[in-house]
Amino acid sequence: MEHKIMMVTGANSGMGLATTIALARQGAKVVMVCRSEERGQSALREAIASSGSGEIELMQCDLGSLRSIRSFAADFKSRYDHLDVLINNAGVVSLKRETTSDGFEVMMGVNHLGHFLLTNLLLGPLKRAEQGRIVVVSSGAHKIGKIRWEDPHLTKGYTAWTGYAQSKLANILFTKELAVRLKGTAVTVNALHPGAVGTQIGVDRNTGFGKSVLAMLRPFFLTPAQGAETAVYLATSGNVSCATGEYFYRKKIAPVSARAKDKELAAKFWDWSAGEVGLQPSETE
C-alpha cells in the first residue's frame, strides 16, 4: 500500500476513523475528509498515534454543501494528480426532517447526493491511478428502501427509517450505474453492508439525544474496527481487483433487493441525481 493515496469521508469518528487507521497501518497515504475542523484535528491526532504513520492528512469538506464539495475537489486536484481509493463512508441519520444548505433532505443530501457529486468530481484522479477503487458504504436497510419519486426529499410523512432506507438504496443504485459507466476503465466501484456497528451516527450532535440508547445496545454491536473490515478489504485486497458493481457483506458478495438490481431504475436515478447537483460533463474529467 506504500505510495497509494486513499481518501476516507466521515473520517473523524466511528468506522471512518477506524478505516483511516487500518489503511495507514498498511502504509497508505490517507486523506481524512471531515466536516468539522475541530473534530477532524482531534481525529487526526488519534489516527497518527494509533497507526504510527505520518502519512495522514486532514482536509475539510461539508458533504451537505455542493459549494463545499466543489471547492474541496478543486483543492484536492491542485495537490494530487491521482487518487487510488475513495471510500464514501460518511453518513447521517436524522430523527427529525432536516435539510442541507442546498435544500435537500439531509440523508438523501449527505448519504447520496454529496457523495454522488464528490465521486464524479474525482473520477479524473481515480482514472489516472494504476487501478482506482471506489468503495461505497451502504447498509442492509436498502432492502426496505424505495425511491419516492413523488417526494424524494420527504416533505410529507417523514420518518427517519424511510429516509435512511431510501438513501441506502440510493447508494447501491449509484454503485451499479457507475460500474456500467466505468466499463473499459481501470476503476472499480463496489458497495458494502458493514453490519450493525456501534457508532455515533444516530446521536444528535447538538442535544446528545440517542447516547443512552447507544450505550445500552453497544454490547450487541460490532466495534467500528470490525465494521470497517469489509471497506478496508475492498480498498486493498488483490482478491477483488476485478470485482465491480457488487455489494459485499463480511468480505463476500451478498444479494441485494430487487429494486437495487433494477438497471432502468439505476439509470433513471443517476439522471435525477445529476440534475439535483447540477453536474456538468466537464466536471468529471
Q: Which residues are catalytic?
A: 164
Are the C-beta atoms of 164 and 100 separated by less than 8 Å?
A: no
Radius of gyration of the chain, Cα coordinates, nearest whole angstrom: 17
Beta bridge partners of 96: none
Residue ranges of alpha helices (H) inside the chain are 14-25, 37-51, 66-79, 106-107, 115-121, 123-127, 160-181, 211-217, 224-236, 263-277
Cβ-based burial of 216 (10 A; exposed 0-12, middle 13-18, buried ≥19): exposed
Are the C-beta atoms of 125 and 82 separated by less than 8 Å?
A: yes
Distances (CA, A) of 192 to 26, 75, 181, 208, 233: 21, 28, 19, 28, 11
Torsion, CA 94, CA 96, CA 101, CA 102, rounded to 10: 90
SS3 107: helix
Are the C-beta atoms of 29 and 55 separated by less than 8 Å?
A: yes
Are the C-beta atoms of 190 and 248 separated by less than 8 Å?
A: yes
Instruction: Name residues whose C-beta falls within 8 Å of residue 42's C-beta, 6 or more positions apart in sequence.
Output: 12
